[in-house]
């Protein structure tokens, strides 16, 4: 469909106004045309009237007057009959005739009247001529003819006059009619103009004005930021509608803007409240380092005068104001500013901070920061003791926001916490973290780690003390160890507690094995001294592993792992000693690891066997029992002693199946011996704690057919009876089977005599440590004697282990030991050699001992 051009849209005001204007112009045009037509008509009528009508009548009247004068002259001549007169009058007559003929032609009286006038003047000339000729008779006739002609003439002219008057009247009538029509037309046009176009125009105009005013009103309200009423005329199709719609858009935008402004104002108010009620100072600077805003706390913190908190105040002015009161500044930075020193946690027990270089103004970092530095956190120390932290964020446009917080209390607490975090609460020594930090720092020093030794110290017998005497006693021992260790080191050395019963020393300046070993021996000696508990003395002892820097490692990791291997070596090789790391130890450790891997398959591969060592009675040196001792026949390493693999078997739980195998094998072997000879089997604490040991033993006895009376189980003090009621129960159940229970290695450290109270052991095996000393140490002898007499009282049999010499034998017997065991009688032997031993010992008895 073809669209109308906009001006042709009948709903538009322009169209309507132009239509009305067009109609008015059209009416005026009609009126003008009618008027001009009438004027034209009037003009031609007037011309006609003047010429034919009124003018014609005038000419006729003038002609009548001339003819009257002509008649009077002719009459005068004819009455006077004087030829002189005629001659005198002739001129006048001639003049009248000329004028009359001119009138005739002017008045268009041609035709009949012209002919009549000519005839009249001819008759007059006849009269004239006759008089001149004195022809009186003829004269009368001529005159008569003239008069008649004159009368006819008069009648004709009168008729003409009448005719012309009538014609004029009809012309005037016609004009009158035209004029009245024009009047009607004018009135019609006026009426149409007044009644239709005018009111329509008025209505249109006033409606448009009214609607425009309504729209203006809305605009006005908008302009005066009043809430505007809805915009009128929105649905109108004309220009006002268009305008209203435009205003509507404008109004919506204005409303949205105003809403936004309200929201922004509200947010501003909230922000203001929030900012000024914050416990932190806030300041914001533009990219020209001029203050944009700040809050009350900021003003208060730095006691800023009003003049310095106005927008546009340069940051340097504000800084200048507070600088006089700042003592020093520290800052955290994402990168280390060249020339600045980084203090480490270990040094200050606080997060790493950068301090200004010596000689530099201690407040200089603040200026560097304002100049666009990268620091993100600054600590300002004020002369009144306050510490104000300034954290800042630079924005992409170069402006920045800074948050200022009084961290005096936090920093103090932080420092306290940092100190605590680096300290072992029990001993007051540095803790593991502090030790590690220190080691890391020394390793990270320029040029690498230099001339120090790392000692790792592990207390040998701490756990039993702790388990037996309780944690308080354990703590007391640890505190005492710490004290002793600190008494051994020089200034600058670091003593730390790095684990439950593990200590470490970083010994400065000890670059050689000899130097480090000197301290380590002092450590071993100091820890070997008994520790006094409330009512007891305990011996703990320690093993030490040493790594030297930089010889044994450049990193904390290497140094620690090498010191650890050395420590492990100390423990493996008898405890109570120190070892300086050497590569062979690492190899040994590797071998140990390989051994542990092999152990997992040893049982399945049948690599275990039992050796037996006789236990003889002190009185007759008769073999009363054999202790079953486990051996591992390793395919490549040969016979591996139990101490080389049992600790790992215990730690890995492998001891449970291995122990069960040993038990069964021992029972089977014992079944081949004389029925008066018993078998002693070692039981690991792990086996008891694992549970089900009584069932295993009962089943083994049932399977092998060995009488429970011939079986003895040896447990050590590592079996916790105090804390573990179930372990005690298991032992009781074993006893109820008829099996005897022996306490092995008695006196090796940890257990107090109260241990004996907790379970009715059948036997006490006095550790060979005491026997070894028995000849030289009165103390050892006294202990052995005390133990035997105690055992007797408690109805327990005593066994002295480690009888190697005759002296041992004599002393042990003298001390009252009931049974004896040791190399003096026999080393542990394979099962097939047991029979021979029985034969040998039962006969010569003490002869060997005597020899
Ligand atoms: P233990 O139960 O105290 O066994 C006695 C240890 O002392 C044996 O060492 C034995 O060879 C050694 N010995 C005996 N007489 C003398 C002597 O006169 N002088 C010296 N220096 N030593 C002597 P072995 O066979 O190396 O066993 C060491 C430890 O291994 C045993 O100490 C025991 O605790 C453990 N053990 C051995 N077999 C087993 C086992 O089947 N199960 C468990 N759980 N532990 C076992
Ligand atoms: Mg034993
Ligand atoms: Mg023993």
In tens, the pLDDT along 572-628 reads: 888 899 999 999 888 888 888 888 889 999 999 999 999 999 999 998 889 999 999
Confidence band of 11 (pLDDT split at 50, 70, 90): confident
pLDDT at res. 828: 96
What H or E segment, with its residue span, contains residue 380? strand 377-382
Q: Which of 84-93, 165-174, 344-353, 444-453 has the highest mean pLDDT?
A: 444-453
Q: How far apart are CA 575 and CA 597, in angstroms?
A: 24
pLDDT grade for 361, boundaries at 50, 70 and 90? low
Which residues have a Cβ under 8 Å from the Cβ of 76 and sit 6 or more positions away? 85, 89
Per-residue model confidence (pLDDT) at position 699: 97
Residue range 81-105, pLDDT digits in tens: 777 787 888 888 888 888 888 888 8
Burial of 442 (0-12, 13-18, 19+ CB in 10 A): buried
pLDDT value at position 411?
81
Contact 698, 737 (CB under 8 A): yes
Indicate the top mutation candidate among 625, 639, 642, 744 to test ligand 1's pocket, ranked by most ligand atoms within 8 A of CB: 642
Measured from CB, residues less than 6 Å from any atom of ligand 1 are 613, 628-630, 641-643, 646, 659, 662, 682-684, 714, 744-745, 768, 801-804, 821-823, 828
Which residue did the predictor score with more confidence, 130 or 709?
709
For residues 366 and 380, is the Cβ–Cβ distance under 8 A? yes
Q: Whose CA is nearest to atom 34 of ligand 1?
A: 682
Q: Which atom of ligand 1 is nearest to the CA of 681?
A: 41
Q: Can you name the residues that pair with 378 across neighbouring β-strands?
A: 331, 390
Distances in Å between the Cα of 762 and the Cα atoms of 624, 765, 795, 820, 826 are: 15, 10, 7, 15, 24
- Tell me what pLDDT residue 725 has: 66
pTM above 0.75, yes or no: no
CA of residue 737 to ligand 1 center, whole Å = 25
Residue of 520, 533, 530, 527 whose CA lies nearest to 501: 527
Per the rule left: phi > 0, alpha: psi between -120 and 50, beta: everything else, 349 is left
Q: What is the mean pLDDT of residues 159-181?
A: 83
Q: Given pLDDT bands bounded at 50, 70 and 90, which one contains residue 338?
A: very low
Instruction: Specify the residue with its C-alpha closest to ligand 1, atom 22.
Output: 802
Ligand lying closest to the C-alpha of residue 643? 1
> Can you give the pLDDT at residue 679?
98
Cβ-based neighbours of 572, under 8 Å, separated by 6 or more: 592, 644
Ligand nearest to the CA of 684: 1
d(CA 546, CA 520): 8
Centre of ligand 2 to C-alpha 623, Å, is 16
Beta bridge partners of 546: 455, 580
Summarize the confidence of residues 478-504 as an average pLDDT: 95
Q: Using the mean position of ligand 3's atoms as its centre, give its distance from the Cα of residue 744 in Å.
A: 5
- pLDDT above 70 as % of the chain: 90
For residue 627, how far is its CA from the centre of ligand 1 (angstroms)?
9
- Rounded Cα distance between 672 and 661, Å, is 17
pLDDT level of residue 339 (50, 70, 90 thresholds): very low
pLDDT by residue (tens digit) across 298-317?
A: 999 999 999 999 999 998 88
Over range 796-817, report the average pLDDT: 94
Q: pLDDT class for 346, splitting at 50, 70, 90?
A: very low
* Nearest Cα residue to 713 out of 755, 678, 752, 749: 678
In this predicted model, what pLDDT tens digit does every residue of 249-305 receive, in sequence order?
A: 888 887 888 788 888 888 888 888 888 888 889 889 898 889 998 998 999 999 999
Tokens 């039993």 — which residue?
Answer: 464
Tokens of 197: 């176009």
Please list the helix, strand and coil fractions of the chain in percent, rounded to the nearest 5, in that order: 60, 15, 25
What's the pLDDT score for residue 849?
40
Q: How far is the CA of 629 from the centre of ligand 1 (A)?
A: 6
User: Which atom of ligand 1 is the closest one to the Cα of 767?
Assistant: 3
The dihedral built from the CA positions of residue 750, 754, 760 and 761, taken in this order, carries a sign that is positive
C-alpha 685 chain-centroid distance = 56
- Determine the distance separating the centroid of ligand 3 and the alpha carbon of 821, expressed in angstroms: 9
**Rounded Cα–Cα distance for residues 802 and 680 (Å):** 16
Residue 851 has pLDDT above 60, yes or no: no
Instruction: Give the Å distances, CA to CA, from 628 to 623, 641, 655.
Output: 14, 13, 15
User: Residue 292 in contact with residue 286, Cβ under 8 Å?
Assistant: yes
Nearest CA to 304 among 312, 296, 314? 296
HEC letters along 386-439: CEEEEEEEECCCCCEEEEEEECHHHHHHHHHHHHHHCECCCCCCECHHHHHHHH
* Ligand 1 centroid, distance to 99 Cα (angstroms): 194
HSE, side-chain direction, 13 A CA sphere, residue 85: 15
> Which ligand has the minimum distance to the alpha carbon of residue 680?
2
Q: From atom 20 of ligand 1, which residue's Cα is the shortest distance away?
A: 802
**b/e string for 101-124 if b means 16 or more Cβ within 10 A?**
bebbeebebeeebeebbeebbebb
pLDDT of residue 337: 46
- Asked if pLDDT for residue 77 goes beyond 70, the answer is yes
What is the residue-averaged pLDDT of the chain?
A: 85
Q: Which atom of ligand 1 is nearest to the CA of 824?
A: 18
């Amino acid at each position: 469909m073809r669209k109308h051009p906009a001006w042709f849209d009948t709903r538009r005001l322009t169209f309507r106004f132009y239509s009305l204007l067009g109609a008015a112009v059209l009416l005026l045009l009609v009126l003008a045309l009618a008027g001009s037509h009438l004027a034209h008509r009037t003009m031609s009528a007037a011309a006609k009237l003047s010429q034919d009508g009124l003018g014609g009548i005038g000419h006729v009247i003038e002609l009548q007057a001339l003819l009257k004068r002509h008649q009077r002259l002719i009459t005068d001549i004819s009455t006077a009959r004087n030829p002189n007169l005629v001659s005198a009058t002739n001129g006048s007559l001639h003049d009248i005739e000329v004028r009359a003929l001119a009138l005739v032609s002017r008045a268009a009286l041609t035709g009949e009247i012209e002919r009549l006038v000519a005839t009249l003047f001819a008759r007059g000339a006849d009269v004239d001529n006759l008089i001149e000729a004195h022809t009186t008779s003829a004269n009368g006739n001529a005159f008569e003819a003239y008069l008649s002609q004159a009368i006819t003439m008069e009648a004709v002219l009168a008729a003409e006059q009448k005719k012309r008057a009538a014609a004029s009247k009809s012309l005037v009538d016609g004009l009158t009619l035209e004029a009245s029509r024009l009047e009607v037309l004018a009135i019609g046009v006026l009426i149409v103009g007044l009644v239709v176009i005018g009111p329509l125009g008025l209505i249109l105009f006033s409606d448009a004005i009214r609607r425009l005013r309504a729209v203006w009103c809305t605009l006005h309200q908008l302009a005066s930021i009043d809430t505007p009423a809805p915009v009128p005329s929105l649905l109108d199709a004309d220009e006002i509608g268009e305008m209203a719609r435009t205003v509507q858009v404008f109004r919506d935008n204005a409303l949205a803007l105003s809403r936004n402004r309200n929201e922004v104002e509200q947010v501003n108010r909230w922000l203001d409240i929030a900012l000024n009620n914050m416990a932190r100072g806030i300041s914001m600077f533009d990219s020209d380092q001029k203050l944009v805003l700040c809050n009350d706390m900021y003003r208060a913190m730095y006691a800023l005068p009003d003049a310095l908190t106005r927008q546009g105040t340069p940051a340097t002015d504000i800084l200048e104001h507070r600088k006089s009161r700042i003592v020093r500044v520290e800052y955290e930075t994402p990168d280390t500013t060249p020339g600045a020193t980084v203090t480490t946690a270990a040094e200050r027990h606080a997060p790493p901070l950068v301090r200004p270089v010596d000689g530099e103004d201690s407040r200089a970092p603040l200026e560097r920061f304002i100049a666009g530095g990268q620091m993100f956190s600054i600590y300002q120390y004020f002369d009144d003791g306050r510490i104000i932290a300034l954290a800042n964020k630079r924005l992409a446009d170069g402006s920045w926001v800074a948050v200022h917080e009084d961290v005096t209390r936090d920093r103090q607490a932080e420092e306290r916490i940092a100190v605590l975090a680096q300290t072992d609460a029990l001993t007051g020594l540095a803790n593991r973290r502090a030790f590690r930090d220190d080691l890391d720092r020394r390793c990270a020093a320029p040029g690498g780690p230099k001339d120090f030794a790392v000692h790792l110290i592990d207390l040998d017998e701490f756990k039993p003390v702790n388990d037996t005497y309780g944690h308080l006693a354990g703590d007391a021992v640890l505190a005492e160890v710490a004290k002793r260790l600190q008494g051994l080191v020089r200034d600058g050395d670091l003593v730390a507690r790095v684990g439950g019963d593990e200590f470490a020393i970083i010994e400065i300046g000890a670059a050689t094995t000899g130097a480090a070993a000197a301290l380590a021996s002092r450590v071993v000696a100091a820890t070997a001294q008994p520790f006094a508990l409330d009512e007891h003395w305990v011996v703990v002892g320690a093993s030490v592993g040493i790594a030297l820097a930089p010889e044994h490692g450049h990193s904390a990791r290497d140094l620690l792992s090498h010191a650890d291997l050395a420590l492990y070596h100390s423990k493996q090789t008898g405890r109570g000693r120190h070892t300086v790391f050497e590569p062979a130890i690492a190899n040994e450790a590797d071998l140990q690891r390989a051994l542990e891997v092999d152990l997992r398959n040893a049982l399945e591969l049948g690599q275990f066997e039992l050796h037996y060592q006789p236990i003889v009675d002190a009185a007759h040196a008769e073999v009363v029992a054999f202790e079953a001792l486990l051996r591992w026949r390793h395919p490549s390493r040969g016979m591996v002693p139990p101490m080389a693999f049992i600790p790992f078997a215990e730690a890995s739980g492998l001891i449970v199946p291995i122990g069960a195998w040993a038990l069964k094998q021992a029972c089977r072997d014992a079944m081949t011996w004389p029925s008066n000879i018993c078998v002693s089997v070692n039981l690991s604490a792990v086996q008891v704690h694992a549970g089900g040991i009584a069932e295993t033993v009962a089943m083994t006895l049932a399977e092998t057919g060995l009488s429970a009376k011939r079986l003895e189980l040896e447990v050590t003090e590592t079996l916790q009876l105090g804390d573990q009621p179930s372990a005690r129960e298991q032992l009781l159940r074993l006893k109820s089977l008829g099996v005897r229970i022996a306490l092995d290695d008695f006196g090796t450290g940890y257990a107090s005599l109260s241990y004996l109270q907790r379970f009715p052991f059948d036997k006490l095996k006095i550790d060979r440590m005491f026997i070894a000393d028995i000849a030289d140490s009165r103390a050892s002898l006294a202990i052995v004697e005390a133990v035997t007499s105690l055992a007797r009282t408690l109805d327990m049999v005593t066994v002295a282990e480690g009888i190697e010499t005759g002296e041992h034998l004599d002393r042990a017997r003298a001390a009252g030991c009931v049974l004896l065991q040791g190399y003096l009688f026999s080393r542990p032997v394979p099962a097939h050699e047991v029979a021979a031993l029985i034969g040998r010992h039962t006969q010569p008895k003490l002869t060997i001992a005597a020899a």
